[in-house]
Each structure stands twice: as structure tokens, then as C-alpha cells.
Structure 1
Amino acid sequence: MKVLGILLSLAAAPVAAADTVYFTTEDYPPYNFRAGNDIKGAGYDQLIVMMEELKIPYSVEMMPWARAIALAQTEPMHCVFTTAHIPERDTLFKWVEPLAVGRNLMVARKGSGLDVKNTDEAKSYTVGTQRNDYTQTLLENAGFEKIDLATDLKLTLKKLESGRLDLMPIDEQHYVQLVKDGEPLEVKFVFTEQKFSIACNSTFPDDLLARMQDALDTIIADGRQAEILGNYGLLGSNVSALASTPASNP
């Protein structure tokens, strides 16, 4: 599905057709997800506010994550969101950030009985994640060897709940939403912390990138980002038992 941006005002500076920005994303609530025929989410809503205020033509398309991030890496004028800004990706893209800041939790099936308190202890177990997701890189860099890769996070979640996996790294806010939806999960420890951002192709025009960053800075400063995040339960939402737990150092 493709949601087309609209030029809102004739007063806007003219923009060449080549300056159309193509955004890709995945189904990853609460940051971006399908709601009937629409796309919604804390990252998506911020993007729409930014681009419509800039009066720049754009499109948004939802697709599997591996394809979404590959297009942003290889195609001019393409950007992907909501993307974790980790060191391994830093020089691959140009960044507009932060859409959010979050922690990544290592979770297990509720009632699994696993006694795992940190990264070193977790390495002896089979850990699953989505192929080409930032958590794959985090796991590999941390020295995990038993990594099960699936095409999407939903399949990884099914494997975890069926006992085919032992552990799974997942963003804290996604975890909160899954538990609200009744998924039988429990947190073992805080794995990492990261920014969530818009990642654009390395050839993306610097002047346009700066305009996008200015637009995001504005909605952060005037409180609209906080309002959007709050609409999706992302303000003050945390795993209370882990509120003071430092991230494990992979």
C-alpha cells in the first residue's frame, strides 16, 4: 500500500519531481503498523507532520523489513523508518532523529523457567530475531552463535511461544503493547538502548535532510512529538520492574 504526500500550498517553494522522497517502513507497532487500509504509528505520524509542513512530495510504502532497509541503502531519495541508529549503520545512511528513544529487552516465553540475567548467560540459549533487523547485528556483535533468523518478528514470536526458541530481543514499547494484547512474554534483562530514527540513502541531498531535521526539531520543541508518542502509550511507559536496570553491554 502506498500513501501519497500532498503539496499543501502554492506558496511553497517549487520542488523538482526528482526531489520526491520515498519512505519505506515495516509493520512494527506501535511505531508503524496497519490499521485497516491505513498506516498509523508513533513514527509514521511524526513523519506525516514533518513532510506535510515542509510541502515536499513524498510517498510511504509498507513492506518486509529486509526490503525496506535495502531500498534506503541502495536507492537515491529513499529513506526508511522507524530505524534503530546503531554504530554498524551509522555511515551507511544519513539520519534524521530521534523519533523515539527506547530500550531493547531480552524476553522469554512466560513460565519458561529460564534463569538468565545478562548477555553472557543468554549466549548458551537459542535466540531468535528478524533477518536484517538491527537486533541481528546486536546479537552477532555480542557474540551470540545460536541465532535463529525469521522473515519477520511475528514469526519469531510464534517460535518463541511454541518453545522453538529460548529468547528474543525486542523493543520495550513493542513488548508493552504485546503484553497488553495478551502475548505470554516475560522480561529477563535489558539488552541495549538505542535511538529510533529516519535513515536516508547516503546520497540524499544535505539541504533536504537539514530541512527534515529542522522540521523534526520543531515538533520536538513545541511538544507535538510528546503528544504523538503519548497517543501510542509511549510516554512514561516502561517495564516497572526494570526501571532502574542498566542495559547489558554486548
Structure 2
Amino acid sequence: MRYFRLCLSGLLCGWLSSAQAADLTLYLGDNPPFNSFVAHRPEGMAVEVMTEVLKRSQLSAENKDFPWARALTTVQMMPNHCAYTVGRIPEREAKFHWLGPIATVQGTLFGLRERQLQIRSLEDARKYRIGDLRQGANAIFLESKGFVIDYANTEDQNLRKLLVGHIDLYPGTPYSAREIVQRLKIDPQRVQALYVFNQIDLYLACNLQTPSATLAKLTSAFESMRADKTLQKISAQYEARFALTN
């Protein structure tokens, strides 16, 4: 009876039903073509992988779009919360349960071709301003090497800052750079890959208090996709479409 009276407001009932509806809450980073929100809908290679993982594991999930640093902090605090795609780096190893790898990417410094920058090592990059996402794997790696990062909330912001000269270098991946350049309707010839400085495996990262039975279902589903080549088939559909090279 008390629950019924509270539900008369509608709002509380909606919140309760939403909270009870999904087995998992998934936070998607802005990391095209692997995962991002377009017109308020998740899309990308990793989204397709996770959709199939959930189907095979018979688990439901609610997808959420949060700023990346906030999403990772929330996942660390909340059981049954996960984020993807998360670069599995030493600084994060003990903070999450890991499922993957979903994909492997090369951390690459990009610049404007018209500036004709010559970057042959990370030392060459130290004299330039570098922009990246707060708590992004590339940012964490570069900070560990002593770089100071000009932070942005989204990859779009990074590319816009590069175009207007607020930063000199943008650390991304050949896949994400190509997708964002297309999204912003920029001439792809203006953005040039200058130097590969890192290689990162991308995973689903889940809260440490997520039940072991849930994690076992996710792992079994993912491994079955690897075994029957579904993972490779999904990946192959994107590899040919989203490479930005010199």
C-alpha cells in the first residue's frame, strides 16, 4: 500500500522500474568506430559485439552516455556497472574486472598536414601542446611520461581545438580519427598521422563487486564468439572502412 501511494507520483515508479529492468548498466565512451552515441543511440563495432554478448549470456543492459572520467568513476563505485571500450593499462588493472580484448588500437599522434610537423619520437612531441580526454588511456600514458595534457570532454572537442590551433597534436587512433573527421565534415587530407607511440587493448571494464555469476556468463558468451569467429567477422566489417593513414 505504501509503495502504491509513492508510485502515484509516477516519477518514483518510473525510477524503480528502470532500476529493476536491466541486469547491467553500460557506459559507452566516445571512441568511434568502436562505440559512441549518435542521435542518442549507441553504435559501433564494440556495440555490435556487446549486443551479441548480452544476447548469448541472456543478460539485459541499459546504455548510458556520460563524460568519460565521470563514467569510469561511477563504474568503480557501482556493482553491475561496466564501461567500454576501456584501454587496459597498468594504472587501471586492479580497478576493474576485464572482458576482452574487444579490439586492439595504436595510440597515434595526429596533427594538421599544413603545419608539416616532424615527430619521430615522443621527445620530439614535448615542445607541442597536446589535447586529449581526461582519464583517457592515451592521456594517462602520456602523463606517465611527463606530458601535460590540455583536456577535452569529447573527441570532437579535441579535433576542433586542433583545427583552430589551440592544440598542436591530438592523440587518437587511426580508426577514431577517421570517424571523427567524417563526423565533423573535415577534409581528411588536413589531418595527418605523425607518430605511433603506444598500442592498447580495448576491453569491457566492470565494477569489482559485480557478481561472479554475471561475469561468468559474459565471459562464456564472449569466448563463444571468439571460438565461432563472430568477433573476427564483426571486426573485419570495420577495419576496411575506418583507417586514416598518411
Same fold (TM over 0.5): yes
Give the Å deviation of 1:33.
2.3
Equivalent positions of 1:76-225 (< 5 A) are 76-145=79-148, 147-179=149-181, 182-183=187-188, 184-225=190-231
Give the Å deviation of 1:34.
2.9
Q: Distance in 2 between matches of 1:139 and 1:44?
A: 27
Q: Does the 8 A contact of 1:31 with 1:82 survive in 2?
A: yes
Instruction: Tell me the SS of whatever aligns to 1:111.
Output: helix
Deviations 1:77-108 (A, max 9, x none): 11000111111000011100111111111111
- Structure 2: give runs of 5+ residues left out of the alignment: 1-19
Deviations 1:172-229 (A, max 9, x none): 2112334555342101110100100000011122232122112111112212112212
Higher helix fraction (1 or 2): 2
Aligned to 2:3: none
Match of 1:234 among 232, 236, 239: 239
Count matched residues. 223
Structure 1 residue ranges, 4+ long, deviating more than 4 angstroms after superposition: 235-241
- For 1:70, give the aligned amino acid: T
Equivalent positions of 1:6-21 (< 5 A) are 20-21=23-24
Counterparts in 2 of 1:212 and 1:235: CA distance versus 1, 3 Å: farther
Aligned to 1:247: none
Counterparts in 2 of 1:236 and 1:39: CA distance versus 1, 3 Å: closer
TM-score, normalised via structure 1 length: 0.82
Q: Distance in 1 between matches of 2:240 and 2:92?
A: 27
Give the Å deviation of 1:143.
1.5
Instruction: Tell me the SS of whatever aligns to 1:198.
Output: strand
Aligned to 1:51: 54
Cα root mean square deviation, aligned: 2.1
Q: Does the 8 A contact of 1:19 with 1:77 survive in 2?
A: no
Deviations 1:118-150 (A, max 9, x none): 1111112111101121222111111213x2111
Give the Å deviation of 1:43.
0.7
Instruction: Tell me the SS of whatever aligns to 1:165.
Output: coil
Counterparts in 2 of 1:239 and 1:18: CA distance versus 1, 3 Å: closer
Instruction: Tell me the SS of whatever aligns to 1:144.
Output: coil
Give the Å deviation of 1:37.
4.6
Give the Å deviation of 1:240.
5.8
Q: Distance in 2 between matches of 1:140 and 1:26?
A: 20
Q: Distance in 1 between matches of 2:245 and 2:26?
A: 34
TM-score, normalised via structure 2 length: 0.83
Counterparts in 2 of 1:236 and 1:155: CA distance versus 1, 3 Å: closer
Q: Which moved more, 1:178-187 or 1:159-168?
A: 178-187
- For 1:168, give the aligned amino acid: Y
